Chain A
Amino acid sequence: MTSLTQPFLSVDALHKAFVLHGQGGMTLEVMRDLSLTLSPGECLVLSGPSGIGKSTLLKMLHGSYRVTGGTLRLHFEDGDLSLDTLPAHAWHTLRRDVIGYVSQFLRVVPRVPAVEVVMEPLLARGVDEAEARARAEAMLARLNLPERLWSLPPGTFSGGEQQRVNIARGFIAEHPLLLLDEPTASLDAANREVVVQLIQEAKARGAALLGIFHDEDVRDRVADRLLPLTTHMGAAIAPTAADEEVR
């Protein structure tokens, strides 16, 4: 099923290689010639075995990994924005307002309570503290995180509890483009259901979603299309000339 609306994201001939200087300059090619488009209100799910480059693609779209070749573009009413040539400082605002990312693991900041972890994306946009707190608490309640945990730093939480804090933080700011890296990995059925609802609500408000889900039930319920990544891979390892720098 393809969407009839104009795409919000276009990826064209994307290429990613890691050069490992510590390993004699070995080049690890993880993605070659990947193209896709994603429209508002659509959820595209990346599939394929581990190590095929699904997370790598999300990280390139979030600016965490650099792009070796190819183009990444966002299409706005008044023009395109190329992500692959964006200066680093431009990502600050882009991440705050446009591209959201729910990673697999929560990066815990010592001492910061769960509710403040969730509030942060709203505070960064200048949302009033009381409102941000109310919205964060509503989100945590929805994800069934016990209220006694809200004021504690998530460092000691279980994997599933941390994951829910992470999901709350990722969905609260309603970014127009959301990248989801296995958000349901360590959740029970009831909480997976909440995440499915959050995804459906995001689609309904016109967000474009690109996700990785290993859970087939969740995948089938949220995906408008599947993109199998196997066909986009070249040879996994291509050794190159010796590396002179450092060591």
Chain B
Amino acid sequence: MKRPDLDRATLLEARGVSRLYGPGKGCEAIDIRLHRGEVLGIVGESGSGKSTLLRLLAGMERPDAGQVVYHSAAAQGRDGAGHEGELDLYAIGEARRRALLRMEWGLVHQNPRDGLRLGVSAGANIGERLMALGERHYGQLRAAGQDWMGRVELDPRRIDDAPKTFSGGMQQRLQIARTLVTRPNLVFMDEPTGGLDVSVQARLLDMLRTLVRELGLSVILVTHDLAVARLLAHRLMVMRRGQVVETGLTDQILDDPQHAYTQLLVSSVLTP
């Protein structure tokens, strides 16, 4: 038997990224490497800096120091801002950065109301990102809408209903459909199961696992819920007071934590 090729290409990298609002508030000198097809979980308690880090990585907030580098297959030659497929997220213009987030990346907010247009139909919500990519054919937009409602276990007959008539769990699934319909290379998720009832959470987790596998998604997932991290993430990063205290495979972190804080965090979880 030949030695397997275990290396995976890097998709996103943070190099010494910092953004501090005060001592221990924000995040400080963070290095991250996300590989293709990998789900990286960022865990920690509230105020640990994980959401700040997500905003820095996702192009929504400029760091005080450091670089966020996206390794895009398509980056080279589009406008020359990258070299060898590397795109320095905050060295490119605002318009380009927004375009990247719209075309190649996806963002799932904790609160679906932040990611949806509540007043327009479910179908229009799903079609919006496709239209931004140039799809104009009404029949195809509608077909994609119905297909994706089915994938996220929403009744496709409700395609013309506004999301404000949906429950919280349904809205969250709609937000996921709206985000994934363009097959993004990279998806950021901020506590995707955060505001949901436990029974609704389970359904969403199962669905996310399947979508990650089927679409080969690369994901950066922020969560304070270690059970969610266990189910979804391949690797974990533990944050505390703006710093990364430990990284490793998900089961390494949860079953054999090394750092004192990780041990405390893991041992504090109630298991029913």
Binding site for B on A (CB under 8 A): 18-22, 59, 63-66, 76-79, 81, 86, 88-94, 97-98, 109-112, 123-124, 176, 243, 245-247
Number of A-B contacts (CB under 8 A): 94
| Chain B residues whose C-beta falls within 8 Å of the C-beta of A111 in the assembled complex | 202-203, 206
The answer to whether A76 touches B2 (Cβ under 8 A) is: yes
Q: Which of B57-65, B118-126, B259-267 contacts A (4 or more CB under 8 A)?
A: B259-267
B interface residue count range (under 10 / 10 to 19 / 20 to 34 / 35 or more): 35 or more
A–B Cβ pairs within 8 angstroms, 21 of them: A21-B260, A63-B249, A64-B256, A65-B255, A76-B2, A76-B3, A78-B3, A79-B3, A81-B4, A88-B249, A89-B8, A89-B35, A89-B235, A90-B6, A93-B4, A97-B4, A109-B206, A123-B213, A124-B213, A245-B260, A247-B260
- The answer to whether B98 has its CB under 8 Å from any CB of chain A is no
Interchain CA distance A225-B213 in the complex, whole Å = 39
Q: Are A21 and B263 in contact, with the CB atoms below 8 A?
A: yes
The answer to whether B263 and A88 have CB atoms under 8 Å apart is: no
Pick from B1, B38, B205, B261: contact of A92, CB under 8 Å: B38
Chain B positions within 8 Å of A, measured between CB atoms, are: 1-8, 33, 35, 37-38, 202-203, 205-206, 209, 213, 231, 234-235, 247-249, 251-252, 255-256, 258-261, 263-264, 267
Q: Which residues of A contact B251 (CB under 8 A)?
A: 63-64
Cβ-defined contact, B35 with A246, below 8 A: no
Separation of A77 and B202 alpha carbons in the complex (Å):
44
Contact B256 A18 (CB under 8 A): yes
Contacts A63-B252, A66-B248, A88-B248 given; does A109 touch B2 at CB 8 Å? no
Task: Note all chain B residues with C-beta closer than 8 A to A89.
Answer: 8, 33, 35, 38, 234-235
Say yes or no: B260 contacts A246, CB within 8 Å. yes
Residues of B with C-beta under 8 A to A243: 260
- Chain B residues with CB under 8 Å of A91's CB are 6, 249
Query: Which residues of B are found within 8 Å of A81, using beta-carbon distances?
Result: 3-4, 6
| B5 in contact with A93 (CB, 8 Å) | yes
How far in angstroms is the closest Cβ of chain A from B206? Answer: 5
Tell me which residues across on chain A come within 8 A of B4, comparing CB atoms.
76, 81, 93-94, 97-98
Q: Which residue of B has the minimal Cβ distance to A244?
A: B260
**Extra inter-chain contacts (5) besides given A64-B252, A109-B231, A176-B1, CB under 8 Å:** A18-B256, A76-B4, A81-B6, A111-B206, A112-B206
Q: Which of B205, B252, B264 contacts A246 (CB 8 A)?
A: B264
Q: Which residue of A lies closest to B227 (CB)?
A: A110
- Chain A contacts for B260, CB-based, 8 A: 21-22, 243, 245-247
Contact (Cβ within 8 A) B6 A86: yes
Cβ contacts under 8 Å, A86 to chain B: 6
Q: Which of A76, A92, A243 neighbours the largest number of chain B CB atoms within 10 Å of its CB?
A: A92
